[in-house]
Structure 1
Amino acid sequence: MKKSSRPILLLALLASLNAHATQVIEGADRNHVQVNISAKEQNRLAVEGRRIASVVPSQKDVISVVKDEALGALYFTLASDTPSVGTVTLFVSDDKGVTYKVILVPRPVSGEEIILRPPGEKGGPASAAPRTTADGRAVSYQRKIKDLVLVMADPALQESVESIAVNKEVPLWKEGRLVLLTKYLEGDLVGEKYRLTNVSPSDMLLVEQELYRRGVRAVSIEHHTLPAGDGTDIFLVRERKENE
């Protein structure tokens, strides 16, 4: 009897998500929050809706920083002469005087994007009550993103969230035909399931970064190399718009 490939697919999608998802961090203004970063590649740090005013590391000369003056964000790498630095604490202040405490954990992964969410204003999205588990524990934003990817990838779970059939072709590249199959609505997140077909005579190599845009929090691709005529499912999670 042939074994189902579904568990292998789900593990592959989670591995892809762990490698490429943007980390949206809440509560760092109140407590130290731990985040994974690339040990060797450049990482990006920003404060949602605000500009970074200053960054002070717990150890001198442990990071190298390049400021993005236009967006008020910064790019940073660990100093090349400190390969065994362990964790690094950053004290990040924004242009409204809020200070965030972030513990950087170097990992052998590609460059990460870290977005710090400010304390919520009344009625704002950051002030919404978090979803909780049966025993009352808050479900992290990152966990919600992973859960939604799993729901989209597993038909047995899809009845647990609201879904809307779309089946609309989306212009992308002339080498590929991209169709938005279904939208999944879950709280302040929207999941989108796409089908991409390689319509060119050559192999197509896909990377998640090509599909990121403003508001996208995670992208996961089932097959990264597509021979001519083959297709793959693509799962995207983004912020929910006000009119959705």
Structure 2
Amino acid sequence: MNSKHPAVLLALACWAGGAGAAQPREVRDGETMEAAIAADAPTRVRLEGQRIVNVVGNIHSTSNCDSAPPAGNAPLAPSQLAAPAVNPRGDVILNCDLDKGEIYVRPAATGHAGQMRPISLFVSSPRATYTLLLRPAQMPADSLVLRDRRSEAGEPAAKAARPQTTSHVRALKTMLASMAQGRPADGVRAQQFDVAQALWREAEFRLIRRQEGRALQGETYRLRNTSAATMVLAEQEFDQDGVLAVAIEQHTLPPGATTLVHVIRQQEDTP
């Protein structure tokens, strides 16, 4: 496992939520927020408590973004990095909802998700600009709700809550490290399995190990790409009720390749 996975863990520890609902994502001006989006369907993006007024990126084409906005509201003005109305090298198709100050994004590439590049966008509100790195994945259409905590509670409140969050994330990182190494930490009980799990038609998914600690339970799965196309994986595809964090060792799988997927949940019965 390479060094980027603890960062993935930290992000999901803060953002994990129920599957099938809008994905809440914490954002800050000047920092990059990563998320998975549907490869073949639009994804709604909105700013909680704010309007999106500008979008900058390698945009393929836009729709409903140049109309006059409602009276008294600032226009949503997408800025393309290429001059033509349709940029054949663009990464994303952008649709604007001027009434609500929201956008819908859809990868412009065609074919399998493995052929799609990550999409970089700069999304601006009247107060800040947020950097988004969106990774197309085989998942249902969803919504991204961007939350700037500093604009809600102010910096002092955020700092006051940090010690508890840091302790929680440290426990998650310790569990993840023991899962990646295949060696349980002190006080953690480990069991080996080889049990097939339902996932996607294009993949074989097997539970191979479970580790149980005082408050956390970690499950390690082996995923094999059984399709004829390259598969691109995202942690959000494994986010379900009760899941605290997910880490994937290899995000891009050629046909026949395998990777380990580590899932951490809260123990249902803690001593």
TM-score per shorter chain, which class?
0.5 to 0.7
For 1:159 and 1:39, how far apart are their aligned partners in 2?
34
* 2:150 counterpart (72, 81, 88): 88
For 1:79 and 1:159, how far apart are their aligned partners in 2?
44
* 2:222 counterpart (165, 184, 195): 195
TM-score (norm 1): 0.53
* 1:39 counterpart (16, 28, 33): 28
Is contact 2:12-2:244 (8 Å) kept?
no
1:158 aligned partner: 184
For 1:80 and 1:207, how far apart are their aligned partners in 2?
27
Q: Structure 2: give runs of 5+ residues left out of the alignment.
A: 17-24, 34-47, 52-122, 131-147
2:50 aligned partner: 64
Alignment-mate amino acid for residue 80 of structure 1: S
Identity %: 27
Q: Partner of 2:4: helix, strand, or coil?
A: helix
Residue 79 (structure 1) shift: 7.0
Higher relative contact order by CA 8 Å / sep ≥ 6: 1 or 2?
2
For 1:217 and 1:243, how far apart are their aligned partners in 2?
16
Query: 1:1-244 to 2 correspondence within 5 Å?
Result: 9-22=1-14, 37-39=26-28, 63-64=49-50, 80-83=125-128, 88=150, 90=152, 102-103=157-158, 140-155=167-182, 157-158=183-184, 160=186, 161-242=188-269
TM-score (norm 2): 0.48
Alignment-mate amino acid for residue 128 of structure 2: P
For 2:149 and 2:267, how far apart are their aligned partners in 1?
33
The root-mean-square deviation of aligned C-alpha atoms, in Å, is 3.9
Cα deviation digits, residues 104-155 of structure 1 (max 9, x gap): 8xxxxxxxxxxx9xxxxxxxxxxxxxxxxxxxx9971111111101110013
Residue 175 (structure 1) shift: 0.3
Q: Partner of 1:146: helix, strand, or coil?
A: helix
Alignment-mate amino acid for residue 20 of structure 1: L
For 2:15 and 2:235, how far apart are their aligned partners in 1?
15
Residue 159 (structure 1) shift: 5.1
Q: Partner of 2:240: helix, strand, or coil?
A: coil
